[in-house]
């Protein structure tokens, strides 16, 4: 299956083999691609037991023997790969300068699958120090995963619902807002999807991953925030699942008001979120499985939450464009308090 | 002591003998005034043990024998009093039509010591059905208590800090906002403090209660909201005392932002809260004893919270005057969710 597209197969490095990296990397490996996983706490468990993936797309197991030379406790032992997928939380971005150089080949690309705004620049700063600087293609791809997946035990992923990756080339526009000029002309968007992105999309499809390239990742990131800001934020603050929130009259009203505020913030940054997208996002949440957002799991496990990338980055991007997001700001401050408790 | 002002002493009925009514009623009784207490759950305990008040103004005990004929399990047994003090939560205002008629004398006044905006109209609607309609003086007085007091056990009040009552005559301006004309001229404010209010103030002073009459209760109510909205709201939502909130960088920033929003809401309703009042309120909170707001205690005890009078009333008053209070609205919706949990 991995060879169906008649190109030399890309090799993949997964940095952060959790709910996201473990799922997508596991699916690529399960489909026959060469995938190298960087593991931290789970290394010994996976070395002994392999990866267990329960997915609404189909369960599978990667036996320990089949991935013995593909799992790594340190980036130093990883071979240089064509595509390095970053599935770490943005709260670990300070580690990227240590983690990216070994697995990222000269001319290889990094695909940043993290939440929030402006999060690509950390990876870009590292990658642009690696290998051939004259490579004219962008070395950084960026994507959002519309995904309900949790790591429920070491080496054990439970993928509950959805799963689509929307990704594309990253243009160095800070990842925050369009230039004044481009707000009308879309000049700072990639003219087309790069061949590398198209090949990765084909690989994802070959592995059974729902994936889609886009020339408008800034819109995609704000669309993702449309869900993350209300539901990640309120799930922590109100100690509730997405289902409990959407089923409550007041919490659902607040979610909608937050979405309208995100829509205004996006508009100030030159990104148009259509009204129907708000209704659709609410509707999808209503029919989605009850889900503990990654931020809620981080909070309950006493790990740092992605308050900067998910809340402060859009609040500041909008404020710089002249638009206040007072409700989102209030959520960010509430989360800051809860983080320190 | 009760006779020092050379007037026939007022008699007092206390409707809601908890953290507030129990303290002030207890102090009046302790100073020799005739005070009748309406008790609900605590009746039998107080009948047997009297009232225990720990107060930073001085502890005292009202022995059961001394108040045997002054405590009532039902309003029907209460004599008509000159002043009926309402210390109930506004969430119990639907009971006022049952509770007020018996203890309120023809021509007697009601002093509403409740939190929030527009809360006097419930009492006024009842009182204006009682007794002599030709009485030209307003039958409704209204006040705010700047008070840290909790009922810690049946018949047992702990008054931790502060305690000042600011009260005055109520003008029927909805209690919400000044008329357009009066925003500049103050025409809808009482021209002076009524003699009844002055006598009550003297009685309070005689009982050792810090009290102060005002001709601007609308300002006083918004000033109280300046504290209640951030600290009652966040103490429930973030499960924290006032001290834990004010000592945290983000929670203190959010409290200040909420205060600035309350200031804008008040301004839209014709009420000027000076900047210094915000700084002073923050400073007082910083140095105040760690305090569980009444709303937090209500929430923890599974009682209804005063979300309507403390949050929705100002949000709607400001909105009617053209001013959005998005952060306060978000808190109200969060509290609504938590109330139903």
pLDDT digits (tens, 9 = 90+) for A189-243: 556 788 999 999 999 999 999 999 998 899 999 999 999 999 999 999 999 999 9
Closest CA to A331 of A225, A243, A222, A219: A225
**What's residue A189's pLDDT?**
58
> Do A144 and A245 belong together in one domain?
no
Average pLDDT over residues B98-125: 93
Question: What is the count of residue pairs from A and B with beta carbons less than 8 Å apart?
Answer: 82
**For residue B242, pLDDT beyond 50:** yes
> Rounded to a whole number, what is the distance in angstroms from the first to the last CA of chain B?
49
Known catalytic membership, residue A184: no
Q: Predicted ipTM?
A: 0.89
With a cut of 80, say whether residue B308 has pLDDT above it: yes
Q: How far is CA B123 from the centre of its chain?
A: 13
Q: Do A154 and A167 share a domain, yes or no?
A: yes
CB-based contacts of A322, cutoff 8 Å, min separation 6? A268
| 8 Å CB contact between A197 and A168 | yes
Q: Is the pLDDT of residue A123 over 60?
A: yes
Give the count of beta carbons closer than 10 Å to the beta carbon of residue B253: 16
Q: Out of A215, A233, A251, pick the residue that ends a domain.
A: A215
Name the helix (H) or strand (E) containing A253.
helix A249-268
A237 and A312 in a common domain: yes
| Residue-wise pLDDT tens digits, A45-93 | 999 999 999 999 999 999 999 999 999 999 999 999 999 999 999 999 9
* % pLDDT > 70, chain B: 90
Among partner residues A326, A327, A337, which is closest to B248 by beta-carbon distance? A337
Q: Could you tell me if B44 and B160 lie in one domain?
A: yes
Q: Nearest Cα to B33, choosing from B81, B101, B100?
A: B81
Specify if B2 maps to a domain: no
Return d(Cα A263, Cα A265) in angstroms, integer: 5
Answer whether residue B18 shows pLDDT above 70. yes
Helix (H) or strand (E) holding A104: strand A104-112
A61 assigned to some structural domain:
yes
CATH code of the domain covering residue B268: 1.10.1040.10
Q: Mutual orientation of helices A313-320 and A326-340 as an angle, nearest 10°?
A: 150
B218 contacts B13 by C-beta, under 8 angstroms:
no
User: Per the domain annotation, does A3 fall within a domain?
Assistant: no
Angle between helices A249-268 and A313-320 (to 10 degrees): 50
A43 and A171 share one domain: yes
* Each residue's pLDDT tens digit, A34-49: 999 999 999 999 999 9
One-letter-per-residue 3-state SS of B200-217? HHHHHHHCCCCEEECCCH
**pLDDT at residue number B187:** 45
**B193 or B137: which leads in pLDDT:** B193
Nearest to A334 among B237, B326, B333 (CB): B237
Report the distance separating Cα B315 and Cα B333, nearest Å: 11
- Inter-chain touch A251–B333, beta carbons under 8 Å: yes
Count other Cβ atoms within 10 Å, centred on residue B51. 28
Contact A327 B330 (CB under 8 A): yes
Residue B186: band (very low, low, confident or very high) from pLDDT cuts 50, 70, 90: very low
Asked whether the predicted pLDDT for residue A293 surpasses 90, the reply is: no
Residue B83 belongs to some domain of the structure: yes
Instruction: Identify whether the C-beta of residue B317 lies closer than 8 Å to the C-beta of residue B177.
Output: yes
Answer yes or no: is A317 within a domain: yes
Cross-chain Cβ contact A326/B331 below 8 Å: no
Residues B157 and B281 grouped into a single domain: no
Of B89, B151, B183, B224, which one is the catalytic site residue? B224
Domain membership flag for residue A1 = no
Write the DSSP assignment of B248-259 as a string of letters: SHHHHHHHHHHH
Judgement on whether residues A204 and A144 belong to the same structural domain of the protein: yes
Q: Contact B213/B193 with Cβ under 8 angstroms?
A: yes
Q: What was the pLDDT predicted at B128?
A: 82
A163 with A18, same domain: the answer is yes
The CATH number of residue A200's host domain is 3.40.50.720
Q: Are residues A211 and A224 in the same domain?
A: no
CB contact under 8 A, A333 and B238: no
Domains contained in chain A, number: 2
Question: Residue A170 has what pLDDT?
Answer: 85
Please name the residues in contact with B318: beta carbons below 8 A apart, sequence gap of 6 or more. Answer: B264, B265, B266, B268, B269, B324, B325
- Taking every pair of Cα atoms in chain B, the longest distance, rounded to a whole number of angstroms, is 56
Q: If you average pLDDT over every residue of chain B, what do you get?
A: 91
Residue B5 lies in a domain: no
Assign B259 to helix, strand or coil. helix
Domain that holds residue B274: 220-340
Say if strands A104-112 and A81-86 run parallel, antiparallel, or are unpaired.
Answer: parallel
Name the interface residues of B facing A (CB cutoff 8 Å): 234, 237-238, 240, 245, 248-251, 253-254, 257-258, 261, 326-327, 329-338, 340-341
Shared domain check, B137 and B114: yes
Q: Which residue has the tokens 């502060």?
A: B162
Neighbour count for residue B320 (Cβ, 10 Å) = 13
Contact A81, A36 (CB under 8 A): yes
Same domain, A63 and A156: yes
pLDDT reported for residue A3: 47
Backbone conformation region of residue A60, classed left if phi is above 0, alpha if psi is from -120 to 50, else beta: beta
Extract the tokens encoding B113: 């010591």
Total Cβ atoms within 10 A of residue B339: 17
The SS3 call for residue B108 is strand
Q: What is the DSSP string of A136-187?
A: -S-SEEEEEEEEEEEEEETTEEEEEEEEEEEEEEPPSSTTT---TTHHHH-T
Yes or no, beta carbons of B251 and A330 under 8 Å apart: no
Report pLDDT digits (tens) over A124-183. 989 888 766 545 457 899 999 999 999 999 999 999 999 999 999 887 555 566 666 555
Question: What burial letters (b/e) apply to A152-191, b meaning 16+ CB within 10 Å?
Answer: eebbbbbbbbbbebbbbbbbebbbbbbeeeebeeeebbbe
Q: Does residue B110 share a domain with residue B258?
A: no
pLDDT at residue number A6: 52
Of A27-41, A327-341, B180-194, least confident by mean pLDDT is B180-194
Of all residues in chain B, the one with the smallest CA distance to A258 is: B330
């Amino acid at each position: 299956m991995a060879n169906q597209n008649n190109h030399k197969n890309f090799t993949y490095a997964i940095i952060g083999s959790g709910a996201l990296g473990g799922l997508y990397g596991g699916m690529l490996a399960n489909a026959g691609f060469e995938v190298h996983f960087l593991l931290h706490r789970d290394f010994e468990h996976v070395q002994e037991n392999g990866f267990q993936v329960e997915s609404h797309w189909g369960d599978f197991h990667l036996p320990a023997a089949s991935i013995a030379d593909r799992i790594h406790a340190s980036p130093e032992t990883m071979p240089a790969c064509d595509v390095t997928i970053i599935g770490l939380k943005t709260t670990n971005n300070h580690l990227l300068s240590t983690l990216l150089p070994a697995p990222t080949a000269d001319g290889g690309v990094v695909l940043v699958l993290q939440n929030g705004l402006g999060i690509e620049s950390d990876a870009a700063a590292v990658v642009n120090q690696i290998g051939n600087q004259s490579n004219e293609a962008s070395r950084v791809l960026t994507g959002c995963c519309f995904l309900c997946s949790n790591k429920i035990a070491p080496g054990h992923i439970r993928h509950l619902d959805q799963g689509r990756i929307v990704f594309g080339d990253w243009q160095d526009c800070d990842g925050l807002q369009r230039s004044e000029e481009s707000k009308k002309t879309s000049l700072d968007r990639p003219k087309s999807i790069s061949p590398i992105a198209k090949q990765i999309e084909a690989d994802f499809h070959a592995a059974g991953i729902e994936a889609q390239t886009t020339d408008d990742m800034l819109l995609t990131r704000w669309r993702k925030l449309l869900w993350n800001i209300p539901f990640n934020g309120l799930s922590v603050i109100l100690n509730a699942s997405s289902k409990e929130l959407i089923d409550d009259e007041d919490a659902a009203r607040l979610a909608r008001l937050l979405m309208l505020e995100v829509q205004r913030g996006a508009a100030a940054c030159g990104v148009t979120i259509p009204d129907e997208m708000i209704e659709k996002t609410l509707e999808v949440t209503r029919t989605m499985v009850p889900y503990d957002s990654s931020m809620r799991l981080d909070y309950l496990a006493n790990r740092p939450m992605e308050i900067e990338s998910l809340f402060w980055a859009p609040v500041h991007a909008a404020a710089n464009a002249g638009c206040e997001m007072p409700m989102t700001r209030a959520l960010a401050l509430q989360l800051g308090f809860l983080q320190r408790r």
